[in-house]
Amino acid sequence: MTRPLAKPRISLFHAALLAPGVLIVLVLFVAPIALMALESFRPFVTGKVGSGSGWTLRNYAELMEPAYAFYFWETFRIGFIVSATALLLGAPLAFLAARTRRHRLRVAIFGLLIGLLFMSLIARLYAIQMTWGSNGPLAFFGTLIGVPARSAPYAAIQVALGLLHFVLPMVALMLVGTFQNINPRLEEAAASLGAPRWRVALTVTLPLAVPGLLSATMIALAMCISSFVVPLILGRGIVLFATNLMYVRFSDVANYPSGAAIGIIMLGLAALIVYAMMRLTRALAGAGAPS
């Protein structure tokens, strides 16, 4: 019979060690968000900068207009598509980097991914605009797939492309660690028992990589939905993310309470999605664990 593990107790010494870190987290992360949450319940006085006195739910009520659901949907929809695409493209690249015995190939993959990270995102976005923009040499591609280069859906495609540039290197680099941590002998054992390579990948490697894949997706999604500069440059003012709405509220009309309300709603939605994905990760990890 095994004794149940006792709950770890935090001693005074441990609490003292934790205190500086907790304090930093409180001051740097929790306090600004708490202040923003309070601001979101303040009234906005027309023609003034910032918020007035008193409390109101009006800033949230305004965002219940159906039109705003579209912006949140657009933000998350493009975010999900880009995260999934980054996973599809990044996973094979990461697997190759983790498993290849060819040193030069590994260096080339790492060089490409790290090089992309170091290259200014702004430069990459303008390069996309010059190449794929409505006057760019590859704009005809839009027409080929039935999306005219000056149309709004084409702007959405460009935003997705920009976000992919942003998140793909991160996703691939994160997944290299995931694949490196999977013992290659498990794959070799499956292969030695006669399983073809595709089956090894689907039944051995993939289930073991699920937690890493979901973590990478979650981080990619967080990067996408919080991106401001990508829709700003490539969205042509037509594809707007929730971040762009927030910027207009805070910066252009100085309506801080309304901007704060959008921020809090985004935070709530993101927390819900993270929670759902963590539950999914646990469920899949449990299902994939060897019995």
Partner 1 sequence: MRALTRRDLLKVSAASGLAPALGLGSAVPAQAGEQLLVVMWGAAWIDVSRKIVDAYVAKTGDKVAWELHAGGAMAIVAKIKPAWPRVGYNLVSGWDPVFRAMIKEDWVVPVTLDEMPALRDIPPVFFQKDDKGQLMTVPLSTSGAFWGYRTDLVDKPIESIEQLLEPRFKGKLCVPFPVNLTGLLMLTLAMQRGGNEHNIEPGWQFLKELAARGQIGRVINNNSEFIDAMSAGETSVAFFNIGAWTQVRKQFPVKILNKLKDNKGFLFNEGFAVIKQDDPNKVAAAKRLANHFATPEINSQYNWPLGEGPTNPKSKANPDIADVFYAPDELPQYAYIADFDYMSTQVDAWAKRWEQEIAPLIRRS
Q: Is 254 in the site for partner 1 (CB under 8 A)?
A: yes
- Residues in 164-193 that interact with partner 1 by CB under 8 A: none
- Is residue 234 within 8 Å of residue 159, measured between CB atoms? yes
CB of 119 to partner 1, least distance (A): 21
x/- map, 60-89, partner 1, by CB under 8 A: --x--x-xx-xx--x---------------
- From the list 94, 96, 95, 165, the residue with the least C-alpha distance to 129 is 165
Contact of 51 with 44, CB cutoff 8 Å: yes
> How far apart are alpha carbons 287 and 207 in whole angstroms?
9
46 binds partner 1 (CB under 8 A): yes
Q: Which two tokens stand for residue 177?
A: 């660690």
Give min distance, CB of 195 to partner 1, in A. Answer: 48
Query: Are the CB atoms for 218 and 280 separated by under 8 Å?
Result: no
Q: What is the C-alpha to C-alpha distance for residues 285 and 208, in angstroms, rounded to an integer? A: 8
Least spacing, CB of residue 67 vs partner 1, in Å: 4
Q: Minimum CB separation from partner 1 for residue 252, in Å?
A: 4
Residues within window 111-140 making contact with partner 1, judged by CB under 8 A? 133-135
Residue 20: phi and psi, rounded to 5, are: -60, -40
Instruction: Of 267, 264, 179, 162, give the one whose Cα is nearest residue 216.
Output: 179
31 forms part of the interface with partner 1 (CB under 8 A): no
Which of 191, 238, 277, 278 is in the footprint of partner 1 by CB under 8 A? 238
Give the interface with partner 1 as residue ranges (CB under 8 A): 44, 46-50, 62, 65, 67-68, 70-71, 74, 133-135, 148, 150-152, 236-240, 245, 247-256, 258
